[in-house]
Amino acid sequence: MTAIVEAGTTTDLYALLFDLGRRLYVDAQKDIPPDVRAALRRAAERESSEVGRRVLTTMLKAMDVADEHRTLVCQDTGIPIFWVTIGRGFLLDGVRLQEALRAGVEAATCEHPLRSSIVSPITRRNRQTSSGVGVPVFHIEFSPEIDYLDILHMPKGSGSETMSFLKMLYPADGVAGIKKFVLDTVVEAGGKPCPPTIVGVGVGGSSDLCMTLAKKATLRPVGSRNPDPEVAGLEEELLAAINATGIGPMGLGGDTTALAVHVEYAWTHITLNPVAVNMQCWRGERRRARVYADGRYEITY
């Protein structure tokens, strides 16, 4: 069962969305999800490398210090990304939704203060608001399976985001080609994405959808499995292969290069087999909120 951090009610949806934009951005960077903490503890207990064990222990200590002092676990405040799922029958103004969440991120950056990491790609101008053209990033989806508004936030750090890869494979490359590409990218990344990582893999779709699937995969709780048995088997096989590379925590050697491998897929064109890899660093930062039509809300991981 998902741990509920806070629950309440509201009569002003857009004021709540502003507050959620502000709080999710900050809290995701201060409070690491329980599943990530547990995975790091398990990794530290079974790590055979003395250096690797020391690195993992330092990571656990960093989380304890952040808990005690309510500080960020890492100085990289990342790119603010929102995954918004609108359930059947939930009525709202989509423009006001994005405006409220964006304003919340900007307020959080000024109030705490957080290091604004967002700049123009051309001039490198920094508005010091953690926002700009196209940022925060919004992924808006609709679901017939829920009747509420689901907001999942991730502040994506640059170390792990830099290690993003896409390859347009051919059908003849098969599953073996997928495995080879994923393993090759992890080896190429080495210690740059701050391992142990959560390795997100996207397969299928178009090039842009494939990359989106890979990033979305990193948001799943550590150790969760794709409901498709064949895909779940691929996740387990890739995790074992990645951890056999010996890259280890922070690239300094050891048994734990990845905490998890999560694969998401979409059907694709008959002449294509795209595969993408997106890694999340050891912190696995994320924060979630659910808002119901009657004004109730819950903040979870």
Tens of pLDDT, residues 94-120:
999 999 999 999 999 999 888 999 999
Whether 297 and 10 have beta carbons less than 8 Å apart is answered as yes
- pLDDT for residue 84 is more than 80: yes
**135 lies in the same domain as 163:** no
**176 lies in the same domain as 275:** yes
Tens of pLDDT, residues 108-160:
999 988 899 999 999 999 999 999 999 999 999 999 999 999 999 999 999 99
**275 lies in the same domain as 294:** no
pLDDT at 278: 98
Counted domains in the chain:
2
CATH code of the domain covering residue 147: 3.30.1330
Q: What is the distance between the alpha carbons of residues 255 and 229, in angstroms, rounded to a whole number?
A: 26
**214 lies in the same domain as 171:** yes
Strand order across the 197-204 sheet: 164-169, 273-280, 197-204, 258-266
Residue 273: CB atoms within 10 A of its CB come to 21
**22 lies in the same domain as 124:** yes
Domain residue limits at 239: 159-280
pLDDT at 2: 72
pLDDT mean across residues, the chain: 97
- pLDDT for residue 1 is more than 60: no
State the DSSP code for 220.
Answer: S
Q: Report if residue 46 sits inside a domain.
A: no
**178 lies in the same domain as 129:** no
Residue 136, class by beta-carbon neighbours within 10 Å (0-12 exposed, 13-18 middle, 19+ buried)? buried
Q: Report if residue 68 sits inside a domain.
A: no
Percent residues over pLDDT 70 in the chain: 100
Whole-model pTM: value is 0.95
**270 lies in the same domain as 188:** yes
Q: What is the distance between the alpha carbons of residues 251 and 194, in angstroms, rounded to a whole number?
A: 7
Tens of pLDDT, residues 37-67:
999 999 999 999 999 999 999 999 999 999 9
- pLDDT for residue 282 is more than 60: yes
**85 lies in the same domain as 152:** yes
**143 lies in the same domain as 237:** no
Q: What is the distance between the alpha carbons of residues 117 and 226, in angstroms, rounded to a whole number?
A: 33
Q: Report if residue 49 sits inside a domain.
A: no
pLDDT at 3: 85
Q: What is the mean pLDDT of residues 244-250?
A: 98
**190 lies in the same domain as 168:** yes
